[in-house]
Amino acid sequence: MAGNTGNQPLRRSAWQTLLGRFARTQGDTAASVGLDTDFIDRLIIKQQDKGRGLIELLQDVSEHFGYLPPEAMRYIAEHMKIPLTRLYSIATFYQDFKLKPQGRHRLVICTGTACHVKGAAAIVDLLCRELNISPGETTADGKLTLSTVNCIGLCGVGPVAIMDGEYQSNLTADKALQMVKAL
């Protein structure tokens, strides 16, 4: 699992955003928003019985819900008696953890140096304009989440993208547009 860019600690503003999100959802309990708390209970028991780490627990939650719902995070923190900030420091460190619902399709475009010089940034800009989103966001219809990554080791055939797990090499703006329009 890839770590957050440069292993940088979260900037103050990022923490403030997260804490603001906690505050806004403070009245919501896992049950009140329809989360399957029995499922989470089973995961907690499994985690404790097998001596698994919090990362594995969050991976299971993420796999089940498609992201880490704030109510699930709070439920786990309360029931395991651990600080919520500890869970969020794990969730924000690893890029694979998502804090918002993801689109039905996922397009990841490499914007590492080699792909960048071959035009990746222009492709990302074009898609963002077409889809009316920013990198890391999901289209309003929930169809596609567009994100970027720094080098996936295929620099020689860049720009490179991954659409729903399938690698696309020598990406062009036209090819990228066709891909998203075909969804």
Closest separation between CB of residue 116 and ligand FES, Å? 7
Q: Residue 100 CB: number of other CB atoms within 10 A?
A: 14
- 112 in contact with ligand FES (CB under 6 A): yes
Closest separation between CB of residue 40 and ligand FES, Å? 37
- 122 in contact with ligand FES (CB under 6 A): no
User: Total residues contacting ligand FES (rule CB under 6 A)?
Assistant: 12
What are the backbone angles phi and psi of residue 110, rounded to the nearest 5°?
-75, 130
Closest separation between CB of residue 62 and ligand FES, Å? 25
> Distance between CA 134 and CA 128 in Å, rounded?
6
Q: Please, which residue, 154 or 177, has the CB nearer to ligand FES?
A: 154
Closest separation between CB of residue 157 and ligand FES, Å? 8
Question: Sheet harboring 105-110: ordered strands across?
Answer: 144-149, 105-110, 161-163, 166-168
- 55 in contact with ligand FES (CB under 6 A): no
Segment 133 to 162, residues that bind ligand FES, using CB under 6 A: 151-155, 158, 160
DSSP 99-144: SSPPPSEEEEEE-SHHHHHTTHHHHHHHHHHHHT--TT-B-TTS-E
Please tell me whether the peptide bond between 83 and the residue prior to it is cis, using omega within 30 degrees of 0.
no
Q: Please, which residue, 92 or 150, has the CB nearer to ligand FES?
A: 150
Closest separation between CB of residue 167 and ligand FES, Å? 10
Q: Which residues of 160-177 are buried (b: 16+ CB within 10 A; e: fewer)?
A: bbbbeeeebeebebeebe
Q: Could you say which DSSP state residue 96 is in?
A: T
Task: Give the residue nearest to ligand FES (CB).
Answer: 112
Q: Please, which residue, 85 or 167, has the CB nearer to ligand FES?
A: 167
Q: Which residues bind ligand FES (CB under 6 A)?
A: 110, 112-115, 151-155, 158, 160
